[in-house]
Amino acid sequence: MNSRQRMLAALYSQPLDRPPVWFMRQAGRTLPEYRALRQKHDFLSVMKQPELTCEVTLQPLRRFDLDAAILFSDILNIPEAMGQTLSYPPGGPRLGPVIETFEDVVALRPVVPQRDLAYVGESLGILRRELGDDKALLGFAGAPFTLACYMVEGAGTRRFSKIKPFLTCQPKAAALLLERLADVVIAHLRYQLESGADAVQLFDTWAGELSAHDYARFVQPINERILAEVSEVGPVLLYLRNGSHLFEQSLDCAARGFALDWRVDLAAAAKRLRGLEHAPCLQGNLDPITLFAPPPEIRDAVKAMHQAVAGNCGHIMNLGHGLVPDTPLAGIEAFVQAVLDLDTAL
């Protein structure tokens, strides 16, 4: 079983020799070779020039025996394509002008991925040829609520003091924004699958900031529409960061699997999935800071995750969020090697 076969088998909860392994944010800031490249090229250039995108995407596979490459990109390419300016000053991304009114939403540009995000498809096509049939290739997009957070706040936030009132005080504008974003996300993810990705992940990074009630009211139907329409083309993983309170209510959807953060009890989640008719898988869910621990502790954590899931559903080894910039390379290597040393998965 090669890496690509292993990843696809895990997605469909089929028998495996061992779980596949990859990392969120594996392509980028953790590696010294990426930092060296960034001294010559700004972030947007790396994201939009396919030869640079492919180089960064492949860098972690040259260092570590990973089963999948994930496209180097950014979720905020969608708001930019819709007409907001996008920059990356120190402190995080900035978007403008911010969305404040119904008229602002109406003024957003329609997006055709084959035209407006063609660099993504070109990069995936090159990567598919480079990886051949041996390694899996993954794409992704931000979910509408997470994108709306940036578009309404104008940047990352810890308070969500604009987007939450926007949902309740301007319901028509909020509903239109989320629906328009859903249309673009669906088209973008389908485009990635058609361009060579084996699977895609829908990142709802800020979903956990909502209560279960507000998630069900404002966001869940939008995400479920995306999952249903994209899964017609290929498998989709759903990631709800800080969303342990949303897991149970999210199970009845078309997601091929659920990427979990470390706040979710992995064993309980695996048991809950056992026997579900559509046999979804789990991905995750180690706290990224565990990779700063000594290698024996990392190996024990990998074994514990494996034991928590084995026998219940497919499992993709990963972290509960992305690699942080100063993650020790020895910690990454210890994690990967611990997965490679596992002899059974289901």
62 given a catalytic annotation: no
**Rounded CA gap, 231 and 194, in Å?**
12
The residue from 18, 25, 180, 190 that is catalytic is 25
272 given a catalytic annotation: no
Helix (H) or strand (E) holding 230: helix 220-230
Tokens read off for 49: 């020039």
Which of helix, strand or coil describes residue 279?
coil
The residue from 38, 217, 263, 299 that is catalytic is 38
38 given a catalytic annotation: yes
What is the identity of the amino acid at 110?
A: P
The residue from 34, 150, 191, 239 that is catalytic is 150
Tally of CA atoms within 13 A in the half-sphere of 105 that contains its CB: 18
**Rounded CA gap, 156 and 68, in Å?**
28
The Cβ of residue 298 has, within 10 Å, a number of other Cβ atoms equal to 23
The residue from 12, 17, 29, 104 that is catalytic is 29
Say how many residues make up the chain.
346
The residue from 67, 74, 116, 198 that is catalytic is 74
Tokens read off for 251: 């199970």
300 given a catalytic annotation: no
- Residue for token digits 């361009």? 195
CA angle, 193 as apex, 176 and 61 as ends, to 5°? 120
119 given a catalytic annotation: no
The residue among 73, 55, 66 whose CA lies nearest residue 7 is 66
Catalytic residues, which ones? 25, 29, 38, 74, 150
